Chains A and B, each alone.
Chain A
Amino acid sequence: MHWGSLDNFLAMGGYGFYVWISFGLTLACLLFELYGLQKRHVNSQGDI
C-alpha cells in the first residue's frame, strides 16, 4: 500500500482529475447501459 493517505490516493500524483474521470466514466457507462436494459426489459414484457 504505497498511497499513505486518502488524499494522496485521490490526488493520483497530480493526475487525479484524468484518472478518476476515466474510471468513473467507464463505470457510469456500464451501469447506465445495465439500467437502460433493465427498463427496456420491463417494457418488452408489459402489456402483451
Chain B
Amino acid sequence: MKIAGILQALLWRDIKLAMRRQSDVVATLFFFVVAVSLFPLGIGSAPSLMHAIGPGVIWVAALLSSMLSLNRLFSSDYADGTLEQLLLVPMPLTLILAIKIFAHWIVAGLPLVILAPILGLQFDMGAKDIGILVLSLILGTPLLSLIGAIGAALILGMRGGGVLLAILVLPLYIPVLIFGAGAVTASVNGISPEGALSLIAAMLTLGVVFAPFAAAVALRISLE
C-alpha cells in the first residue's frame, strides 16, 4: 500500500528526529515538573488546598508545556526546506499533517501523560483520581496538539511568533482545560467525571476531523 508506506515513513522520520534531539523533549518535561512544583511554593501546601488546586495546576502546566513544544512542529522543517517538499508529496496535505500532529503528540504529549501520576501524588491524589487525571490527559493532550497545529501553521516563519502563538492558541485551549481539570476536580470531590470526559472525547473527535484540514489550509497560506 503506497499511501500507508508514505505515512509510515513520515511518522518514522518525525519520531527519529525527536529522538536525536532528546534534549528538547526532556526540557519540555522538566518545564512541566518545575511549573507544577512552583504552585505549592507560591500558595502554600495545606492538604485541603492541595486537593482543591491539584487538578487545575497539573492541567495548566500540561497546557503550557504542550504549547512550548508547538514551535517545533513546523519551524525546523520550514527552515531547512523539507516543509516545501512535504507540500509536494503526492497525497492530501491534511493526511500528512494528521501524521505530523500525531508524531508531535507522541513526543510532546504522551510523556506528559506518563509523568502526570507522579505529579498527582505530589498533590495527594488517590489512585482513582490519578486514573481520571491520566484518562483526561490522554483525551485532552491530543486536542492540544491538534488546535496548536493550526496556530503553529498560522505563525510559521514569523519573527517573535512565540508570543503571538500563545495569544492565538491559549484562548482556544480554554474548553479543554475546563473539561480536563473539571473531570479530575469532580472525581476528587466524589462526583462522576463521566460527563466532562465524554465532552472532551466529543471535542477530540471534532478536532481529529477538522483540525488537520484547517492546519493544512493555514500552512498553504503561510508558505505562499
A–B touch (CB < 8 A): the answer is no
